Structures are given as structure tokens and as C-alpha cells.
Amino acid sequence: MENGKKRPGFEVRGIIPAVITPLTPEGRFNEQAMRKLINYLIDGGVHGLFVVGTTGEFYGLTPEEKQEILRVTIDETKGRVPVYAGTNGITTRESVMLTQLAEDCGVDAVSVLTPMFITPNQSQLIDHFKTIAANTSLPVVLYNNPPKTGVNLAASTVAKLAEVPNIVSIKDSSGDLTLTAEYIRLTQGRKDFNVLVGRDTLIYGALCYGAAGSIASCANVAPRLCADIYEKFMAGDLKGSLEAQFTLAPLRLAFTNGTFPAVIKEALTLLGIEAGPCMDPVGPMTDAERENLRQVLIHMGLIR
């Protein structure tokens, strides 16, 4: 397929966990733990897997490690759900390289975060993402996370980028539902462009505006609950969807305990799912923080 062309038959939708990268105590990728986690998530009803993203600690992985994680994920997933790869770089050159690496591994789509550390203007961001899209045949999901990068994709910028055939979606982790709604409003003319929300407390609200789903960190821990928000909403059970959203909210709000993504990894450990430590310098939660998290999981009905 020619670069920059949309891959037919691919639709971004549903609940897509931003999958952690399980590590050994020595800080190396734990393949067996990853394989078990993938099956836990798929059995929980998720609609895709997003690996080596922010929750997956992409910033601490070498290209070789990312390649290994992608190959293991694709092998274990066996086509049951689409696999999205984070191909985030500070420079356009780096993002193009990682996107092509992911395409060579056989992923279904890539998600590309805005550059971090530097602060390109909106015109430069348009050029950045257009260049990445032109150098791959994969569907591209834009990724807006200004709390982490200090760079925000304006709604008008996303509207322009939505005109590129293989830019098919945006994940918005701004936490600003007005901005998410503007992304949806301004891209309505492109029927095959969908908006995903990246703030787990806003899944229901974004669906009400017309979002197609969520890339959700909390779906690592509670995949069935997150999937219920989406599936009940799509089935017209708005009350059930909202109840699932309210049940999930305390877990996302607990992210303030510890340093991200420690809460997700430690919650999985409390559930008996091997996750390992975070990459240094992110350390473990304190005993008090861990007990608070345990109480959240008990109240959610995830552990006794």
C-alpha cells in the first residue's frame, strides 16, 4: 500500500487499555507476565491493546526493547483484537523511525504523542504529523497529553490533520471535555475519523458527545468494568454505563497516590497479576498509599 493511504476496514473504537510494560525485579521486560496480562485483558472484553505508550513507560525503552514488546504482544494476541503501538519521539525523525519499526513488526495502528521538552507551534505540529503519516501505510492516532508534554493540539489543528487519509483518530488526555467535544464537532465531516478520550473519569461524558471510546490506563486493572461503560452505552443502557463510570472513578482519582504509573502496577499486583516495578527513578508506593489503593479496589469489588 502506498504511504499516506488509509488502510481499509480498520475502525478505531471501544475500550483500549494503555498496557503497562511488566518488568522483572531487575528492570527487564517480563515476557511471560506480558502474555498473561494480554489474556487477562482480552478475556475482560477489551476492544484493542495499546502498548509502549505513556502507561507502558515508552520513555525508558530502547527501540530494541520496543520491538520485542510489540512482537510478543502480536504473537500472544493472535489477531483477537487490534494492536496499537506508541511511536513517540521528540523529533519527527525519531517518530518516523519508530513508526516504521512498529509497521515492520505487524501492528494494526500507531499512536503518536506530540513532541515533549520542545514546544513546536501549531503549524510545526501539522508538518510533524503529516510527515509521520506520509511515511507509513498504518492508521495513525494522534495523541494529545498536554499535562505530560506541555504541548496542546488545538481543535483547529486536529481538524486540518483529519483531512490526511491515514490519520484516523485522536486520543485526548487533556482532561478538558470542552476540547474533546471540539475535536468531535470539528471533525464530523470526516466520517471515518474518531475521537478517543484518554482521561478515564470522562469516558461516559465523551461518549455522550460522540466519542468512539477510550484508551484507558485503568483498563489494565478493571477491563470488564471499563468495557461495560462502552458496551452498555452503545446498547442504550445509559444508567448502567454511568454506574460503571462512577464505580471506576475512584481508581483513576487514586493516581495521585504514588508516582505514575505506580498505581496501575501496584493495583495489578494487589489483584495477583504480575506487573513488577516501575522504571527508576519511579519507586514503589508507601505502605499508607498502598493501603489506600487496596481499600479502593475492595470498594470496587475487585478484591476482598
- How do residues 99-129 score in pLDDT, each as one tens digit? 999 999 999 999 999 999 999 999 999 999 9
DSSP state at residue 23 = B
Spatial contact of 158 and 142, defined as CB atoms under 8 Å apart: yes
Give the per-residue pLDDT at 304: 84
Has residue 135 been placed in a domain?
yes
CATH of the domain at 32: 3.20.20.70
Has residue 304 been placed in a domain?
no
Task: Give residues with Cβ within 8 angstroms of 235, minimum separation 6.
Answer: none
Has residue 299 been placed in a domain?
no
Buried-exposed string 23-44: b where 16+ CB fall within 10 A, e elsewhere = beeeeebbbebbbebbebbbeb
Q: Which of 202, 156, 152, 164 is nearest to 183 (CA)?
A: 156
Residue 171's domain comprises: 14-246
Has residue 32 been placed in a domain?
yes
Give the cell for residue 139: 492508521
pLDDT < 50 stretches in the chain: 1-8
SS (H, E, C) 73-92: HHHHHCCCCCEEEECCCCCH
Annotation: binding site for pyruvate: 55, 215
Has residue 67 been placed in a domain?
yes
Give the per-residue pLDDT at 2: 42
Q: From CA 54, how far away is CA 199, in angstroms rounded?
A: 13
Has residue 151 been placed in a domain?
yes
3-state helix, strand, coil in the chain (%, to 5): 50, 10, 40
DSSP state at residue 220 = G
Has residue 188 been placed in a domain?
yes
Mean pLDDT of the chain: 95
Has residue 265 been placed in a domain?
no
Which whole-number Å values give the CA distances from 146 to 113, 116, 172, 209, in the listed order? 10, 9, 9, 21
Give the per-residue pLDDT at 190: 87
Domain tally, the chain: 1
Query: Which stretches within 162-219 are classed as H helix?
Result: 177-186, 203-209
Q: Cα-flanking dihedrals φ and ψ of residue 106, to 5°?
A: 100, 25
Q: Which of 53, 94, 33, 9 is nearest to 215 (CA)?
A: 53
124, containing H or E segment: helix 122-134
Q: Annotated active-site positions, please?
A: 143, 171
Give the per-residue pLDDT at 276: 97
Which whole-number Å values give the CA distances from 85 to 10, 236, 270, in the listed order? 15, 31, 27
Give the cell for residue 212: 468512539
Global confidence as pTM:
0.94
